[in-house]
Chain A
Amino acid sequence: DGGITQSPKYLFRKEGQNVTLSCEQNLNHDAMYWYRQDPGQGLRLIYYSQIVNDFQKGDIAEGYSVSREKKESFPLTVTSAQKNPTAFYLCASLGIGSTEAFFGQGTRLTVV
C-alpha cells in the first residue's frame, strides 16, 4: 500500500542532544513538508521541499535542519538550538499537480 510513514511514534531525548525524525513516502510525491503542532494549536510549517536536493524554510525553521537526498525521504533534525523541542511533529507529501496532501501518523517528541 502506498503511504507516508513516520518513525518512531514516540521519541524521548535528553536536553542538549540532537535528534532526527524519519519520514518516508512511497507515493512518488515530489513535495514534502514538516510541521510542528503544540497542544491545542495549529500546524506550523518548519521546512518544505519541492524536489530532491532542494528545500525551503517555513515559518519556524530556527533550530531545525532537513535534507532531501532521495525523493522518498525527508528527515528532520531537531538540534540543541531549538529552545522548546517538545511537540508533535507531522510530515506530509504532495504530488505535483495534485491538491491533496497526505500525512504521516506523526512523531511525539519529548525532551527532558
Chain B
Amino acid sequence: AQTVTQSQPEMSVQEAETVTLSCTYDTSESDYYLFWYKQPPSRQMILVIRQEAYKQQNATENRFSVNFQKAAKSFSLKISDSQLGDAAMYFCAIKAAGNKLTFGGGTRVLVKP
C-alpha cells in the first residue's frame, strides 16, 4: 500500500515571500515518482514539479523547488517569490509500481497582497 500525508490544511504567505509545504509518504517500493500538483479555483489539475526517487538531486522548476529526503520519506515543496496566481490547493502525489497514483489531502495556499 502507498499513502501520502499532507499535515498542513492551509498555509498563508505574503506576496513575494517564501512558503514551504510539507508532504510525507509511505511505500514499500524502491522505484517511484513524486509529484506536486496545483489545483486553482477552476479545479483544473496542473503539474508543478516531479521527482524521481532514484535521483538525489532535488528538482527545481523556476520558483518551485523540492526538498526530497528519501530516508525520511519526505517531499516538501518550496514556493519562492510568491505571486497572487500561486493561490490554490496543492497536492502531493506518488506513483509507484503498477501505475497506482495516490494523492494526499491537499494544502490550501493563500497569498496576501
A11 to B43, CA, bound (A): 16
Query: CB distance A101 to B50 under 8 Å?
Result: no
Closest B residue to A100 using CB positions: B47
Q: Answer yes or no: B84 CB below 8 A from chain A CBs.
A: no
For B81-96 the 0/1 string (1 means CB < 8 A from A) is 0000000000100010
A3 to B15, CA, bound (A): 33
* A92 with B104, Cβ < 8 A, contacts A42-B6, A43-B91 known: no
Query: CB distance B45 to A45 under 8 Å?
Result: no
| Majority secondary structure of chain A interface residues (helix, strand, loop or mixed) | strand
Within 8 A of B (CB), among A50-103: 50, 56, 58-59, 88, 90, 92, 94, 99-101, 103
- Give chain B's interface residue range (CB within 8 Å of chain A): 20 to 34
A45 to B45, CA, bound (A): 15
- Give chain A's interface residue range (CB within 8 Å of chain B): 20 to 34
Q: Answer yes or no: B36 CB below 8 A from chain A CBs.
A: no
* A42 with B91, Cβ < 8 A, contacts A105-B44, A106-B43 known: yes
Query: CB distance B105 to A56 under 8 Å?
Result: no
* A100 with B50, Cβ < 8 A, contacts A42-B106, A45-B100 known: yes
Residues of B within 8 Å of A33, CB to CB, are: 101
Q: Answer yes or no: A17 CB below 8 A from chain B CBs.
A: no
B106 shortest CB reach to chain A, Å? 5
Residues of B within 8 Å of A40, CB to CB, are: 9, 106, 108
What are the 5 closest A-B residue pairs judged by CB atoms, nearest first?
A: A42-B105, A103-B45, A43-B103, A42-B106, A31-B99
Which residues of B are in contact with A by a Cβ distance under 8 Å? 6, 9, 33, 35, 43-45, 47, 50, 52, 91, 95, 98-106, 108
